[in-house]
């Protein structure tokens, strides 16, 4: 004789409701955690990195001053001054390698990064520098306010170079993969030519938030001042 087992009793209603509330509570906690994490990340990127970068810039500027006082160039290229960005604007220019990878990221967090394969300040060729518009000290935050004819000053241990911009800050926009702004002759129609004059190229993101575009300004060397003698010369 076969005895059938009695059918299983359904879970009590209050147990199902309790489990449902527990799941909803867990989902809520996870959403809150994700939200707090996002807020923390946003705060770090847009405030924390600026604080750290400005501290780094102050330290580097002090190192530059100490090195120059000892009669040595040191590791930094020099100091950048842009009157359009304010009378007290002064940012260190540091070696950025090819602006890619860890070396470029480090340089961009310490000030303005110099494209090391290019020319040095005042040299024949393209002295190219890049900086962030937002985060990491945002040295080029007001980049799009630059105007044709603005002057840009680059100070090294021995000289001060004055460049005059050819274009406004919002006049030239290129995709980040475009290479001609870093060529010896920063001109899309002449990038394969050999340089015959000293120029400056400044690059940054086109928008305050993530973008694949870059804004470009190009300047010509107007004069060079010898800091020891006060002599000012113009390019030949």
Exposure string for 172-207, b = 16+ CB within 10 A, e = fewer: bebeeeeebbbbbbbeeeebeeebeebbbbbbbbbe
Q: Are 144 and 129 in contact (CB under 8 A)?
A: no
Q: Are 104 and 97 in contact (CB under 8 A)?
A: yes
CA 14 from chain centre, in angstroms, equals: 58
Element (H, E) at 28: helix 13-43
**Beta carbons within 10 angstroms of residue 170's beta carbon:** 14
CA distances from 110 to 132, 140, 158, 191 (A): 10, 13, 22, 29
SS3 218: strand
* 196-209 pLDDT tens trace: 999 999 999 755 55
CA 80 from chain centre, in angstroms, equals: 14
What's the pLDDT score for residue 28?
Answer: 55
| φ, ψ (nearest 5 deg) of residue 232 | -115, 125
What's the pLDDT score for residue 43?
Answer: 44
Residue 160, both tokens: 């001060």
Residue 142, both tokens: 């007001």
Q: Are 121 and 161 in contact (CB under 8 A)?
A: yes
Share of the chain above pLDDT 70, in %: 74
The tally of domains found in the chain comes to 1
Residue 58 covered by a domain: yes
What's the pLDDT score for residue 37?
Answer: 45
Residue 158 covered by a domain: yes
* 130-179 pLDDT tens trace: 998 876 568 999 999 999 999 999 999 999 999 999 999 999 999 989 99
> Rounded distance, CA 43 to CA 64, Å?
31
**Beta-carbon contacts of residue 27 (< 8 Å; ≥ 6 apart):** none
Residue 90 covered by a domain: yes
Residue 15 covered by a domain: no
Residue 170 covered by a domain: yes
Residue 183 has pLDDT above 80, yes or no: yes
Residue 13 has pLDDT above 60, yes or no: no
What's the pLDDT score for residue 15?
Answer: 59
* 214-229 pLDDT tens trace: 999 999 999 999 999 9
Q: What is the CATH number of the domain that holds 76?
A: 2.40.260.10
In which band, very low, low, confident or very high, does the pLDDT at 42 lie, cut at 50, 70 and 90? very low
Residue 212 sits in which domain range?
A: 46-233
Q: Are 129 and 115 in contact (CB under 8 A)?
A: yes
Residue 160 CA neighbour count, 13 Å, CB half: 14
* 51-76 pLDDT tens trace: 566 777 788 989 999 999 999 998 88
Residue 80 covered by a domain: yes
Residue 14 has pLDDT above 90, yes or no: no
Residue 20 covered by a domain: no
* 86-137 pLDDT tens trace: 999 999 999 999 888 888 888 888 889 999 999 999 999 999 999 988 765 6
End-to-end CA distance of the chain: 115
**Cβ-count burial of 137 within 10 angstroms (0-12 exposed, 13-18 middle, 19+ buried)?**
buried
Q: Are 84 and 164 in contact (CB under 8 A)?
A: no
Residue 17 covered by a domain: no
30 versus 160: the higher-pLDDT residue is 160
- For 71: left if phi > 0, alpha if psi spans -120 to 50, otherwise beta; the answer is left
What's the pLDDT score for residue 23?
Answer: 61
What's the pLDDT score for residue 40?
Answer: 46
């Amino acid at each position: 004789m076969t005895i059938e087992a009695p059918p299983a009793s359904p879970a009590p209603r209050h147990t199902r409701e309790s489990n449902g509330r527990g799941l909803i509570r867990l989902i809520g906690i996870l959403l809150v955690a994700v939200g707090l994490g996002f807020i923390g990340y946003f705060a770090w990127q847009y405030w924390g990195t600026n604080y750290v970068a400005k501290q780094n810039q102050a330290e580097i500027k002090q190192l530059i001053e100490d090195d120059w006082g000892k009669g040595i160039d040191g590791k930094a290229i020099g100091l950048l001054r842009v009157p359009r960005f304010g009378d007290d604007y002064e940012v260190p220019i540091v070696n950025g390698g090819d602006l890619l990878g860890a070396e470029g990221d480090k340089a961009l967090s310490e000030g303005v990064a110099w494209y090391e394969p290019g020319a040095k300040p005042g040299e024949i060729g393209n002295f190219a520098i890049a900086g962030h518009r937002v985060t990491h000290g945002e040295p080029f935050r007001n980049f799009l306010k630059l105007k044709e004819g603005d002057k840009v000053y680059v100070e090294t241990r021995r000289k001060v170079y004055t460049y005059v911009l050819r274009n406004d800050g919002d006049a030239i926009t290129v995709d980040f993969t475009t290479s001609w702004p870093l060529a010896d002759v920063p001109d899309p129609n002449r990038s394969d030519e050999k340089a015959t004059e000293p120029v400056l190229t400044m690059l940054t993101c086109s928008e305050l938030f993530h973008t694949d575009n870059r804004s470009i300004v190009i300047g010509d060397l107007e004069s060079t001042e010898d800091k020891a003698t006060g002599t000012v010369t113009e390019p030949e």
